[in-house]
Amino acid sequence: MAISTQPALALQTFLEYLEVERNVSRLTIRNYTYYLKRFCTWFLDQGMTDLKQLDQELVHKYRVYLARYISRNGQTLSKRTQSYYTIALRSWLKFLIKNDVPVLHPEKIDLPKAESHQMKFLNIEKVERLLSQPLLSSKAGLRDKAILEVLFSTGLRVSELVGLNRDRIDLNSREFGVIGKGRRPRVVFLSERAAVWLDRWLLSRRDNWSPVFIRFSGSQPDLLADGENTRLTSRSVQRLVDKYCRQARLPIKITPHGIRHSFATDLLSNGASIRDVQEMLGHKDIATTQIYTHVTRPKLREAHGKYHTDL
């Protein structure tokens, strides 16, 4: 199959490949579409019309553009976000090279040095303080309470949480399946308390919309529709977690992923094995789970001191 080197056409071919051949998630396709469309716009603004014109000098200019980018509301791109743009571009070029399209080799594009991030998590007392913040007299507060309880009970990624549909939730067994990163399925479990709050939230609804967590702002579809456009976004969940963190006056800023870290830390602190936690988090590689050495290392030291013969 001959692939065009005209940016828009080449991008469409790549996105179709991701969807059909690689079977990647809708979220990944959406992200790649966003990152690469921005690159295409910038590329055309440089007077370029063919991907064969892309060279290392242009890549350098693009990375300078990303580093200096400021949005309309004054936001810049973090090093991590800049990396996402570069990774998307490299993946696209790798696909083109694999299909014998004469473009710049992706190995000639280095990734930006990543910012070091200290893992942030809450102990159980601070988790309880966070989870007690939503105002339960309002529908939004009841929804937010259910969100926080489900996040801590399951360790879901925020993208997995907002992707939940009502017909997938079994409150009797308190477990359900999700499709995580890399399209890998796994089962997650609800605590009895989280199931109660999720049930209260769903019983408060008077619609038949599919999404478990919905927005209240903006126009609302017909009650008999599937309600897909009411689905809460990842960004909305991030904002509400941030709001309740500030409201609880927590000493650190916690994101939905920080609640996931807190979930894993709690499991390990109470005796769960690193392999069990790996499976519950949906990590492909155990090395990813081993970031929780702040919990496992003291336990290993204790075991060493208790069981190893001191000659």
pLDDT in tens, 270-300: 888 888 989 999 988 888 888 887 776 676 6
* Residue 183 exposed, middle or buried by CB count within 10 Å (0-12, 13-18, 19+): exposed
Active site residue 157: yes
Active site residue 294: no
Active site residue 283: yes
Catalytic residue among 143, 231, 261, 283: 283
Q: For residue 183, is pLDDT > 90?
A: no
Catalytic residue among 157, 231, 244, 261: 157
Catalytic residue among 120, 181, 186, 215: 181
Task: Classify 7-108 by CATH class.
Answer: mainly alpha
pTM, entire model: 0.70
- Give the model's pLDDT for residue 273: 87
Task: Classify 124-304 by CATH class.
Answer: mainly alpha
| Ramachandran region, residue 55 (left: φ > 0; alpha: ψ -120 to 50; beta: rest) | beta
Instruction: Give me the residue spans of the domains in the chain.
Output: 7-108, 124-304
Active site residue 246: no
Question: How far apart (Å, rounded) are the C-alpha atoms in residues 126 and 245?
Answer: 10
Catalytic residue among 90, 231, 260, 261: 260
Percent of the chain whose predicted confidence (pLDDT) is above 70:
92
Active site residue 181: yes
Helix (H, G, I), strand (E, B), or coil: what is residue 119? coil
Question: How far apart (Å, rounded) are the C-alpha atoms in residues 243 and 254?
Answer: 10
Active site residue 34: no
Contact (CB, 8 A) for 89 and 36: yes
- Reference 146, options 89, 193, 198, 190; nearest CA is 198
Q: Which residues neighbour 104 within 8 Å (Cβ) at sequence distance 6 or greater?
A: 54, 55, 56, 59, 93
pLDDT tens sequence across 196-242: 999 999 999 998 899 999 998 877 766 657 888 899 999 899 999 99
